[in-house]
Amino acid sequence: MTLAINASPFMRFDGYFLLSDAVNMPNLHTRSFALARWHLRERLFGLGDPPPESFSRHKTVALVGFAWLTWVYRLSLFLGIAFVVYSFFIKAVGLLLFAVEMGWFIAFPVWSEVRQWWALRGRIGRRRRLGLLLPVLVIGALVGLPLPSPVTGSGLLQPREQLTVYAPAGARLLALPHAHGAAVRQGQALLALASPELALRSRQAAARAAAQQGQILQAAFDSEQRKQWQLAGQRLEGTAAEAQTIAADAQRYAPTAPFAGTFERVDPELRVGDWVAQNEVLGRLLSSGPRQVVTYVGEQDVRRIAVGDGGLFIVDALRGPVLRLRVQAIERDASRVLKERLLAAPQGGHVAVRPQNDNLVPEAAVYRVTLEAVSGTDHAEQAWRGLVSIAGRPEPLATRFLRGAVGVFWREAGF
């Protein structure tokens, strides 16, 4: 590695001086750089100025090419040094080196050359100026003007309201009053479960309450019991609180419909009397009427949309309807967990995630956006995944780039 670095003619090490002696040209870098700058001006403006030094055509081409190779090599070398420092040592120092090198090797030379062009503006022909100005204006318009750019991503078309019924611990199915796809009224029981452990706890609590009430009644006729009267009252209050907890737990074994909709069974083989595992999905209650689309928008794009903006939903593989949407709600805080697993990148969605316990955690900050369907749909499928396009506010490409660069710098510098 030491030999390779010292033998390179692009830095002022041994290889550079050996090459200078071989071609008999002292100050090779300075003279080739001046020739390359002259060549660039002649190609752009055709000023007709004589070159800094007169060489043969082949030697001029070789020196100009050597100058450009030197500039590219030095830029790559110092960027590599900054990357190594950033990766293995101190991130802040690596970012500072990057900023210094971009300023020294890119911004400062370009600025110096542009100043020279400005000084020669009187000699640059009108046609040449227009020919140079046109691509500059086109690039400036593409980068600086707020061009329309929709916010796109994968979305999930689903009922506006839905309830997933999970099995509690140690439960056995007692009743399935609704068939698959049956209509359910609000307040109706969805199914009935039983738990021997919960029933035992209920009987034990009732027995303790009866015994404690008996102790309190005996305290009126027994002086010894009267001394324990206050303690017995406290025990009775604790037993009553436990009974309330048991009653609240029992409600999980008899879920009711919080809204009217359609009940769908998940396992068609499930029968009355079967034991079910804890957190097993037993069924879903889907509301009828208009549906909604849920998507996740990145931190850079969420600022460009607002409630009321229009959008479009196209089902994957064009298997379903094309819907017109309107943004209904945007969560203010970034989502820590991806609720809609079908939108994860491993499932074909656009949200990059990593598994953590039983959840999917987004790799970057994303915000949950809910859109309502303006053109109604009434299909039997529970959910459809597709492409969501939201008409966000126009924003210049340069603004997005600068915001992203500042965000990366601020995050990686550890401020």
pLDDT at 209: 76
Give residue for tokens 């079967």: 274
Give residue for tokens 């780039």: 401
Tokens, residue 291: 């549906």
Q: Is residue 86 over pLDDT 80?
A: no
Q: Is residue 297 over pLDDT 90?
A: yes
Q: Is residue 246 over pLDDT 80?
A: no
Closest CA to 302 of 354, 380, 364, 260: 364
Q: How far apart are the C-alpha atoms of 173 and 165, rounded to whole Å?
A: 13
Q: How far apart are the C-alpha atoms of 140 and 159, rounded to whole Å?
A: 45
CB 284 within 8 Å of CB 263: yes
**pLDDT, tens digit, 9 for 90 and up, residues 1-53:** 888 888 889 988 899 999 999 988 899 999 999 999 888 888 877 778 888 88
Instruction: Give 139 or 314, the one with higher predicted confidence.
Output: 314
pLDDT at 187: 86
pLDDT at 122: 76
What band does 130 get if pLDDT is binned at 50, 70 and 90? low
3-state secondary structure of 270: coil
Q: Which CA distances in Å does 26 have to 11, 17, 53, 287?
A: 14, 8, 13, 84
CB 406 within 8 Å of CB 299: no
pLDDT at 17: 92
Q: Is residue 376 over pLDDT 60?
A: no
3-state secondary structure of 246: helix
Range in 21-30, 137-146, 181-190, 300-309 the model is least confident about: 137-146
What are the structural domain ranges in the chain? Answer: 2-124, 151-161+284-412, 196-252
* Beta strands 322-330 and 310-315, pairing class: antiparallel
Highest mean pLDDT (candidates 62-71, 235-244, 271-280) = 62-71
What band does 381 get if pLDDT is binned at 50, 70 and 90? low
Superfamily of domain 151-161+284-412: Efflux pump adaptor protein, beta barrel domain (2.40.30.170)
Q: What percent of the chain has pLDDT over 90?
A: 19
Mean pLDDT of the chain: 81
CB 219 within 8 Å of CB 228: yes
Evaluated on CA atoms 388, 393, 399, 403, the torsion sign reads: negative
CB 161 within 8 Å of CB 261: yes
Instruction: Give 269 or 413, the one with higher predicted confidence.
Output: 269
Q: Is residue 380 over pLDDT 50?
A: no
